[in-house]
Structure 1
Amino acid sequence: MSSLQPIHALNLDSVQQQAFVNFFNSLPDKPPTTVRVFDRNDYYSIHGIDATTAAREVFSSVANIKRMGVEPNRLDYLVLSKGNFEILIKKLLLVRRYRVEIYVADGSIKGCDWSLKYKGSPGYLTQLEEVLGEGLGGSDENTPCLMAVNIKTDPVSKGKLLGVACVVAADYQMSVSEFTDDDLLTQLETITVQTAPSECLIPFSDNDDYKALKKVMDRTNVTVTKLKRVDFSTEGLVQDLNRLLNFKEDQQQDANAFPETRKDLAMTSLAATIKYSALLNESTNFGRFRLSTIRTDCFLHLDAAALTALNILPELGDNSNSPSRSLFGLLDRCRTQHGKRLLAQWLRQPLRDINLINERLDVVELLMNNSQLRLQLHEDHLRRIPDLQALTRRLARKKANLHDCYKIYQAIKRLPSLLQCLTEAENTTVHSSLTEPISELNDDLDKFQQMIEATLDMGAVERGDFLVKPSFDEQLQSLNEQLERLQSSAERELGKAARDLGLDAGKTIKLENNTQNGFCFRITLKEERNLRGDKKYKIIDAVKSGVRFRTNTLESINEEYTQAKTDYEKEQDKVVKEIVSIAGGYSECLFCLSHILSRLDVLVSFAVAASSAPYPYCRPVVTESIDELILKDVRHPCLEVQEGVSYIPNDVEFKRGSVMLHIVTGANMGGKSTWMRSVGASAVLAQAGCPVPAAAARLPRLAALCARIGAADCERRGLSTFMTEMIECAAILKTATPNSLVLIDELGRGTSTYEGCGIAWAIAEQLANECKCFCLFATHYHELTRLASIHPNVIVNSHAAASVVDGQLVLLHKILPGPAARSLGLHVARLADLPDSIIEYAEAKQAELETNLYEVEAAMESNETAEGQKLIKEFLKKCKEIQASASSDDKMMQEIKLLKQELLTCDNKYVQTLIL
């Protein structure tokens, strides 16, 4: 009997359990990165291995997992409330970058009639937005972007030809690119960093090209989804684009008119994104999308290694937004959600156009110098602007309601005072880039404002209700009059009941109207005795707050009122639908307004962050010339805001023809890596249009910033520290040019000392002599300091200063010219509290190894030299004999040449050094 008792969590008896287990086991196989969820109306269930995944994500424990079914087909399951379900979906899609499938019951039989109703992936959230509403992705700093990549061999160059497409459905943007890439796909990595896709679609393939592509996506934390080759077919694509694209009035209504459609391989990728994201299933997408070409040359090249090394963005899943953890966290003083998303985009896409950089810097400098303007914008105007981008998308998709329209109305109503604030700045850059376009949009949106004022009941808004004015529509007016008449009738009935019961109307007896009971009277429990035995009154309920009851007349009024209210709501829904449809016509203007206000928000955020820093930021001078890079008293912007840190600034100077590459030596923890990161961060900030943490800054317009800093295994990709270093260095050597900045820290670990030193030496020389880029090269291989004498006017030595006082290491965190005097590793070990016995033994072993190494090298050098000198003597003796016996000079030279070749066959470095 107990086996038939339902499980409370799932409310299934044993027969229903087994039916579901059978159905679940019949589902097709899936990867572990796809999680299946079953909607059971009031709650959700997750089964099998997915239950473990979900339990760890939501509860950080598997204790809540239960089992269903009978042996041997028992199945783990987890039950989630709606709130926990939403938490799980956000974590899976936005942090883990997993895919989600939601099944809904089809029929009345519990257990086996299920169908896949909703699907979601990191790059495709549309269907799940219907399930979770605005909760999904609303606070994410990136708008979901879906990428697709197709690869084939270029028939001309025989290289790798890539076709790339990106779709940002929330912004109605499509962009494509087609290019030939190298074996490491460095150009693709640049595009991936700049566009920040959540998901990448590729065709099913196991060839080496797609394996290399998978590595790029792993490095950039992008989920890869494999599709059938047929999904990359362009059949019918032009007709699809004709429906989706937004053509200008004077433009030919044919997608073939766009130059992008002539990129055949890129079009196959675009076709895959359109099919995967089901854009044609939503009629509100028609006539809205823009098609453009991805332009990587407009932005500073940053690869995934540089993004990570410089801590530009927070780590995936890190929601702390701490100023000391990333540049984004430091600069994010944005007041709007669309401002936060634009800030992340600007940091991924630092500019290369000096005019655009200076335009941003002009506005930020004005805001830094004008504290009143800065505070007005930051503390008053921008903080009252809602997420216009998300609201406008709801309008465009006809999913908005009156509350959404009211939020937009409030934002538009603030524009005149915002414009007045900007106009008082009397700055030409502010006027042309902000005031003028906002003013034009304000004029265009004036009718939207008038429509909301004419249709929305502002009195009801003050009460928290968003209703249409009854006077706006004749039918609504008639129904409203009926509701008011019934309200008056109910109040008259209250008076009758009060007199009959001897109570005070509105005080000891009250009229209530709620969604559950409609009209009813309420008295306190103490007055309940007045009702006893009186059959005119029907008691509804008795609770702590009092007794609710009705008369027959009030019940009749209530029924009539309920019907009239239902009719009113139906009629209002028709009017609201019409209002939203009209409001949707303003979506283009609202998108533009959203972009301009987010731009203003980021510029104000730059100014606030720079003004509130512990030490002043300066406006950088960005030059067309690539002859010098100079930073005076540069600081690391994130480190200096940490509590208890007294930052020691440093200078850095590059000048073509004298200083191109710094070999940086010095003790661990001495400040080498921090110095390098501060230089890289300043370069990114400068080209993003933000002041930099330095006393003075003069930087060239860089094309690329490459960084190899930090050491860690990548177990998920099966790569060792050394292999990771080599991959990143290979990419740097392919990317670096004279207008690049390269930062390399501690290259050559994870292999033998001599191999590591040799690799570091070769790469440093290549960067200095062939790539001719500006480079900071930190190393513990002291041998590399000899490069400065081998390549004068190109390579110089710098070191992180440190002193030993009374046997204790004192790190000065100051970068000075010249190489470090000696290695201080043992002193650093003392700082780490390594036992004294270990330190003493290490010192003895170090002395022994250094002595042995010197003796071995000296012996080798002595033996090599002695043997070489002997060979040279014999060679000279034979030359003298040839000279004496040769019949002619030509004959003599031929024989000496043969003798020299014979000598060179001897494997003796002393001989080879003399003769070669």
Structure 2
Amino acid sequence: MSTLQPIQALSLDSVQQQAFIKYFNSLPEKPPTTVRIFDRNDYYSVHGVDAHTAAREVFSSISNIKKMGIEPNRLDYLVLSKGNFEILIKKLLLVRRYRVEIYVAEGSVKSSDWVLKYKGSPGCLSQLEEVLGEGLGGSDENTPCLMAVNIKTDAVTKGRLLGVACVTAGDYQMSVTEFTDDDLLTELETITVQMAPSECLVPQADNEDYKMLKQVMARASVTVTKLKKSEFSTEGLHQDLNRLLKFKDDQQQDSNSFPETRKETAMTSLAAAIKYIALLNDSTNFGRFRLSTIQADCFLHLDAAALSALNVFPELGDTSHAPSRSLLGLLDRCRTQQGKRLLAQWLRQPLRDINLINERLDIVELLVGSSQLRLQLHEDHLRRIPDLQALARRLSRKKANLHDCYRIYQAIKRLPSLLQCLAEANNSTVHSSLSEPISELNDDLNKYQQMIEATMDMEAVDRGDFLVKPSFDENLQNLSEQLEKLQSSADKELNKAARDLGLDAGKTVKLENNPQGEFCFRVTMKEEQTLRGNKKYTIIDAVKGGVRFKTNNLENISEEYVHAKSSYEKEQDKVVAEIVGIAAGYSECLFCLSHILARLDVLVAFAVAASTAPYPYCRPVFTESLDQLVLKDVRHSCLEVQEGVSYIPNDVVFKRGECIMHVVTGANMGGKSTWMRSCGVAVLMAHAGSLVPATSATVPRLRALAARVGAADREDKGQSTFMLEMIESAAILRTATPDSLVLVDELGRGTSTYEGCGIAWAIADTQKRSKLNSKRTYSKLKRQSNHRRSQKGRISLKNF
């Protein structure tokens, strides 16, 4: 845990303290999920309730909180070093999903003249990049996504029409959709899980629909931000999109040519998102964004409860990623940051297209069978690939430096050997989906590689310096020669001083160059007596390392050297800006290359996870038919890797006409929940394109996976555990389809055994009579008794 830096208290007198307290109390009221931070140049301060929030987040204690002012107007405050400030910002935005406001003093930090300069929220981090750099959230599982939702009444059906827009600035992506939804907003929850927004914008309203929307977002841990209804207006949106969107060469340069713009309600949401994230304030965004439609039906429908029940992701703030704690932790063997982000996306968006699933499975199966190929990719090639997506974004925004350019160059230089490695697989799927697109991009990036080799000083790179070759530019060459001459003159002065003092040049007397470029001589304390009384030399200072001194000639050389070095750096900055400007033209290719390498990284991660499992995984067989779902000797992939666990595999069998529903009873801790979860996890892994922990698996193409495991009461809502369970069961009954897998744990919790069985029977009967026709529905309801009963009380429902 980080500790407080030496700054312990604000250096303000009593008058200044009272002035600040008066200013702080005059600030408008804010929600508790917004934290105000005051920048005091070398450190930061937080006050009032925010001080307690910050102390808990950074120090896990409030012991560092101090008080300022006099009674009765005293104010709590906490001082943060810059390092602790960064820890606080990241925890608030990425873990707590809070908002942050940073105030900067207009005059002296001791005055009370403050201005709100930076604002940040979970879905809008662009302003804080100026404070913390662009790495904020870069290592997170997903690039921050902002969602906006507007709900209107459908003029035709009189139902609720939702317009949804998502903006991922890091990927230059805009996606929209428009649909009618039920009163539980089931479809919206599915899209929220798939897109994983950090923040959701909604118009200010207090009707039942927006109350339900807030509940949906709370289940998905998404921050809800209310905006004025006027923000959800398409006025001026056409012109904004014309500036932001990237048009194809043969496409009409008009945003109205995109079919998505005909979704009027969705466009109001997109307009609000564009204004909120201030995309038009940054000219580097112009002509870069892509507009697409959210295709929710392409993926297996999941809700937040299913992700939680199956432990797909670790809890927010859990950075351990232990394989036994979540499915993501188990499968995350990725070597690149872009691969880690894509893996999280694949787990949120399991495929429904059997051909696409089998394409992934073909490659994973090949990698599992070829240990040499797998190890070469995992241990040699992928581990040396930087975050090309982040670097490409820095290039496109003209924020990159020579080091960034060199890292990209290193990745491109590795592509030929990577392609040769993939060619050894001699597999048509690998060739068409990976090798061929990488090869095409390698050809496109060849000129980038040549440019870096022609402009960068590779000898300086070996020393850790990233410089432009002096020979690349005539002005640089002249300045470089001047610097060399001045260095040579300084060396001559060293030899002259050594002869005069009777010392050994380079050993007992040395020439030094400080960071500003100024030259000086240094002798050890032992040799200091040789300087005494000698008017030729001026002593600068005496430190532990020795005595530093200079001559008039050396001082003149230093002045010329500092001036020449400054000119060289300015001239080099011009050349670097030109190099970055040219390199920015390759950012599109780098984005594409990043995506393909991320795909390869995830597939290799799947293969590594399968090959290192305690027992073999198998390739699932997908069927269009809904006749059966059979998992032979299925295991729970996370549980079996726990230390000291000896897992006993089980079968899961659903067959039309034989058994499409199970009601399972038994003693506590008998493995019923684990059996149920193992089924759900295996099905999700199969749809994501991974091998599954079983001896054989036949899986139909499912539309949805619904799961409810665990429950707790909501005292603030007046809802008991049982009531919540019934509400959730009703939601499942209303939304389940013939091609859904439903998993419900502990049905009838808190009732007697017979009442629980009656509830299970009633739900089964309701499903049977519903328009969904339970004879065609893959579902399972599991009942765990809270009271021990005789064998006579244990019921198994079959042949529904």
TM over 0.5: yes
Query: 8 Å contact 1:218–1:717 — kept in the other structure?
Result: no
Q: Distance between the aligned counterparts of 1:474 and 1:127, measured in 2?
A: 39
Counterpart of 1:839?
A: none
Q: Distance between the aligned counterparts of 2:689 and 2:602, measured in 1?
A: 10
Secondary structure in structure 2 of the residue aligned to 1:707: strand
RMSD: 1.7
**Greater displacement, 769-778 / 67-76:** 769-778
1:775 lines up with 2:769 in the alignment: no
Q: Distance between the aligned counterparts of 1:732 and 1:316, measured in 2?
A: 26
Q: Distance between the aligned counterparts of 2:403 and 2:327, measured in 1?
A: 35
**Greater displacement, 221-230 / 715-724:** 715-724
Equivalent AA in structure 1 for residue 138 of structure 2: G
Q: Distance between the aligned counterparts of 2:719 and 2:485, measured in 1?
A: 78
Q: Distance between the aligned counterparts of 2:269 and 2:723, measured in 1?
A: 31
Counterpart of 2:20?
A: 20
Query: 8 Å contact 2:66–2:76 — kept in the other structure?
Result: yes
Counterpart of 1:535?
A: 535
Q: What is the correspondence of 1:186-225 to structure 2 with a 5 Å cutoff? A: 186-225=186-225
Cα offset for 1:716?
A: 8.0
Cα offset for 1:548?
A: 1.3
Query: 8 Å contact 2:753–2:793 — kept in the other structure?
Result: no
Counterpart of 1:570?
A: 570
Equivalent AA in structure 2 for residue 351 of structure 1: L
Partner deviation per Cα, 1:207-235 (whole Å, 9 max, x = no partner) = 11100000000111100000001111110
1:116 lines up with 2:116 in the alignment: yes
Query: 8 Å contact 2:633–2:696 — kept in the other structure?
Result: yes
Secondary structure in structure 2 of the residue aligned to 1:117: strand
Secondary structure in structure 2 of the residue aligned to 1:666: coil
Partner deviation per Cα, 1:377-435 (whole Å, 9 max, x = no partner) = 00000000001111111111111111111111100000000000001110000000000
Cα offset for 1:74?
A: 1.5
Query: 8 Å contact 1:168–1:174 — kept in the other structure?
Result: yes
Cα offset for 1:730?
A: 2.3
Following TM superposition, the consecutive aligned residue runs of length 4 or more in structure 1 with deviations greater than 6 angstroms are: 715-718, 782-789
Partner deviation per Cα, 1:533-580 (whole Å, 9 max, x = no partner) = 112111222222111111111111111101111111111111111111
Cα offset for 1:635?
A: 0.1
Partner deviation per Cα, 1:565-617 (whole Å, 9 max, x = no partner) = 11111111111111111111101000000000000000000000000000000
Partner deviation per Cα, 1:799-851 (whole Å, 9 max, x = no partner) = xxxxxxxxxxxxxxxxxxxxxxxxxxxxxxxxxxxxxxxxxxxxxxxxxxxxx
Q: 1:35 to 1:348 in 2, by over 3 A?
A: same
Q: What is the correspondence of 1:629-668 to structure 2 with a 5 Å cutoff? A: 629-668=629-668
Equivalent AA in structure 1 for residue 456 of structure 2: L
Q: 1:499 to 1:714 in 2, by over 3 A?
A: farther
Q: Distance between the aligned counterparts of 2:652 and 2:562, measured in 1?
A: 77
Q: What is the correspondence of 1:682-761 to structure 2 with a 5 Å cutoff? A: 682-713=682-713, 720-750=720-750, 756-761=756-761
Cα offset for 1:138?
A: 1.8
Counterpart of 2:799?
A: 793
Cα offset for 1:141?
A: 0.7
Equivalent AA in structure 2 for residue 214 of structure 1: K
Cα offset for 1:713?
A: 3.7
Counterpart of 1:874?
A: none
Query: 8 Å contact 2:757–2:783 — kept in the other structure?
Result: no
Query: 8 Å contact 1:633–1:650 — kept in the other structure?
Result: yes
Q: Distance between the aligned counterparts of 2:8 and 2:619, measured in 1?
A: 65
**Greater displacement, 712-721 / 28-37:** 712-721
Q: Distance between the aligned counterparts of 1:617 and 1:101, measured in 2?
A: 49
Gaps of 5+ in 2: 1-6
Q: 1:641 to 1:718 in 2, by over 3 A?
A: farther
Q: Distance between the aligned counterparts of 1:647 and 1:526, measured in 2?
A: 73
Q: 1:135 to 1:587 in 2, by over 3 A?
A: closer
Q: Distance between the aligned counterparts of 2:526 and 2:176, measured in 1?
A: 75
Partner deviation per Cα, 1:637-693 (whole Å, 9 max, x = no partner) = 000000000100001111111110011111111010000100000000001000000
Equivalent AA in structure 1 for residue 223 of structure 2: T
Equivalent AA in structure 1 for residue 284 of structure 2: T
- Between the two proteins, what is the percent identity of the paired residues? 78
Secondary structure in structure 1 of the residue aligned to 2:151: strand
1:368 lines up with 2:368 in the alignment: yes
Q: What is the correspondence of 1:596-611 to structure 2 with a 5 Å cutoff? A: 596-611=596-611
Q: Distance between the aligned counterparts of 2:290 and 2:238, measured in 1?
A: 14
Counterpart of 1:852?
A: none
Q: What is the correspondence of 1:505-584 to structure 2 with a 5 Å cutoff? A: 505-516=505-516, 518-584=518-584
Q: What is the correspondence of 1:379-394 to structure 2 with a 5 Å cutoff? A: 379-394=379-394
Q: Distance between the aligned counterparts of 2:266 and 2:667, measured in 1?
A: 50
Counterpart of 2:4?
A: none
Counterpart of 1:911?
A: none
Query: 8 Å contact 2:153–2:159 — kept in the other structure?
Result: yes
Equivalent AA in structure 1 for residue 242 of structure 2: N
Q: 1:287 to 1:784 in 2, by over 3 A?
A: farther
Q: Distance between the aligned counterparts of 1:407 and 1:109, measured in 2?
A: 40
1:46 lines up with 2:83 in the alignment: no
Equivalent AA in structure 2 for residue 61 of structure 1: S
Secondary structure in structure 2 of the residue aligned to 1:435: helix
Q: Distance between the aligned counterparts of 1:175 and 1:519, measured in 2?
A: 59
Q: What is the correspondence of 1:453-492 to structure 2 with a 5 Å cutoff? A: 453-492=453-492
Q: Distance between the aligned counterparts of 2:484 and 2:519, measured in 1?
A: 13
Cα offset for 1:494?
A: 0.5
Secondary structure in structure 1 of the residue aligned to 2:315: coil
Bigger radius of gyration: 1
Q: 1:505 to 1:720 in 2, by over 3 A?
A: farther
Counterpart of 2:619?
A: 619
Q: Distance between the aligned counterparts of 1:463 and 1:322, measured in 2?
A: 38
Gaps of 5+ in 1: 1-6, 795-916
Q: Which has the higher contact order (CA 8 A, sep 6+)?
A: 2
Query: 8 Å contact 2:338–2:594 — kept in the other structure?
Result: yes
Counterpart of 1:130?
A: 130
Query: 8 Å contact 2:754–2:793 — kept in the other structure?
Result: no
Cα offset for 1:784?
A: 12
Partner deviation per Cα, 1:149-184 (whole Å, 9 max, x = no partner) = 000111211211100000000000000010000010
**Greater displacement, 230-239 / 777-786:** 777-786
Q: Distance between the aligned counterparts of 1:658 and 1:444, measured in 2?
A: 58
Q: Distance between the aligned counterparts of 2:731 and 2:465, measured in 1?
A: 59
Query: 8 Å contact 2:760–2:781 — kept in the other structure?
Result: no
Q: TM-score, normalised by structure 2?
A: 0.96
Query: 8 Å contact 1:767–1:775 — kept in the other structure?
Result: no
Q: What is the correspondence of 1:246-325 to structure 2 with a 5 Å cutoff? A: 246-325=246-325
Counterpart of 1:912?
A: none
Count of residue pairs brought into register by the alignment: 787
Q: Distance between the aligned counterparts of 2:557 and 2:105, measured in 1?
A: 40
